Structure formats: C-alpha cells, structure tokens
Amino acid sequence: MYTHLKTESRGQVALLTISAPQSLNALNSTILGEMNDYLDHFDASLHRCLVITGEGAKSFVAGADISEMATLDAAAGEAFGRLGASVFRKVETLACPVIAAVNGYALGGGCELALACDIRICSDNARFGQPEVGLGIIPGFSGTVRLARAVGMGMAKQLIFTGKPIRSDEALRIGLVNAVVPQAELLDRALELAAQIAAQAPLAVQAAKKCINSGWDLDADEAIAFENRAFGRCFATEDQKQGMRAFLEKQKYEFQGK
C-alpha cells in the first residue's frame, strides 16, 4: 500500500517502519504524506499501542530530506514545516500510546519524530540532535516546542544553538529517552513494552494519555478538573466494572475496551 512505510500487526500492537534506507530514512513530503494517511486510518480499537522505528541498523530517521528542502523558498518552506508538524501532532495525539524504537541516527526531523512519541527507547548506537542551524534553518517540525518540554529550556537551547548531536548515554542522562538497550534487543524490548501497555484497560490508558498531554496546556486547577472528569468517565466502562470485580475475586480479566 505504501512506498516507504512497512506496516505490521503484532497482536494488539501495531508496528510502523519507515523504509527509505538509501537516504537513511530521511523524511520527504512523500513519506510524510504516507505517514499522514496511515495515522488518519489508524484504528485504536484494533491496536492498543503503536511502535515506530526505522529500516536498518544505522538510522531511525536521519532528518528531513535536504535535497528537497534546498529548493524551497520561504512560502514552500513554511508549508513543508506545517506538513511535518501536522503529522507529528497526529502522532502525539493518537488515541493509543506510541513508542519510538530509535535505532541509530535520530537527527533533525528524526529527533522531532521521536519527541512526538510518548515513550522513547533507543539502541546503544543511537545519536540524537537538532543540527538545523548548521544548514541555515531551525527545527521546523515542532522541535523547539517539544525538546524544551522534554529536557528543559536550557538543555534544549544548547542542543539547538550548537547543533551538536549527543550519544545514547547522554540522551538517557538528560531525560530525552526512557531506556538504552543493545542494538540487537531494541525492537524486541520496544514490542515487549508495547505488549505490557496493550494488556491494560485500553480506554483507561487512552484517558491517561489525554490527561497528561492536556495538562501541559492547562493551569493546575484546570488540569485537575480535566482529570476528575476523565476519572469519572472510567466508571461508566465495562472494563472498570469487570476489572475491579476480577481483582476482588482474585481472578484475571482480559480487558475488552468497552
């Protein structure tokens, strides 16, 4: 169906692989368009978690396609940025959790894609960075927004202003990633975590994601009120009723997403 995306189902977990190895999976408008279509048709009732990775051992996403960007004027550049930002916003707001399995380079748009995911696990050979200023531009797919939220304003400014990449151990130290694992174990570890998430009550997980994301943009009282309403709605679900019954009776219940 897609030229540069590979899609799989692993039970209740979906796996999306960006496949453009000749360019180290660099993002162009074609790939972004395919991702946009995939996300628009994603069924969170069928898949309870999404794992995103890149083809090959060298690169998650090496950045945006410079050969395409080099020809853009100001209006076209802004439009390209809006396209990438829109796609990554769909990743961030997807109903179910999204895990980035970062294999190798995650530079520029690749780092921004990882930042749009809920959880980031990387291989020990991963490299993260926002090198755009060395090309006369800035991060254009919401990197200036999400990087600061992930690692703090001071560290985000250092990474963006210098354009220098960091290794996986430094990414873990500053809180950019959740875990670093050997390259050979990366996908298995990401899928294992996804399966653990998928085993939980999916409507509750979705509500928790929405509360956490929305809380960033609300003051404390509004965020707490938002959480209170979401908490209350959980008690209208069959999963809540059956899950608590099973707990009290020391039984196991498989959540149905109802």
- Which range has the worst mean pLDDT, 69-78, 99-108, 123-132, 244-253? 244-253
State what percent of residues in the chain have pLDDT above 90. 89
Is residue 63 classed exposed, middle or buried when 0-12, 13-18 and 19+ CB atoms within 10 A define those classes? buried
Q: Which positions ≥6 away from 137 have C-beta within 8 Å? A: 69, 77
Q: pLDDT confidence of 183, banded at 50, 70, 90?
A: very high
Is the separation of the CB atoms in 175 and 143 below 8 Å? Answer: no
**Does residue 47 register a pLDDT over 90?**
yes
Q: Which fold has domain 5-198?
A: 2-enoyl-CoA Hydratase; Chain A, domain 1 (3.90.226)
Task: Give the C-alpha separation, 183 to 192, whole Å.
Answer: 15
Q: How far is CA 5 from the centre of its chain?
A: 16
Task: Find the DSSP H helices in 94-218.
Answer: 109-116, 143-151, 153-162, 168-173, 186-198, 202-215
Task: Give the C-alpha separation, 87 to 227, whole Å.
Answer: 26
pLDDT of residue 19: 96
Put simply, whether the predicted model's pTM sits higher than 0.85 gets the answer yes
Task: Give the C-alpha separation, 77 to 90, whole Å.
Answer: 20
- Which range has the worst mean pLDDT, 142-151, 197-206, 242-251? 242-251
User: Which residues belong to the active site?
Assistant: 112, 132
Q: CATH code for 202-248?
A: 1.10.12.10
Is the separation of the CB atoms in 3 and 32 below 8 Å? Answer: no
Q: pLDDT confidence of 191, banded at 50, 70, 90?
A: very high
* Domains 5-198 and 202-248 in one fold: no
**Does residue 257 register a pLDDT over 90?**
no
Per-domain boundaries in the chain: 5-198, 202-248
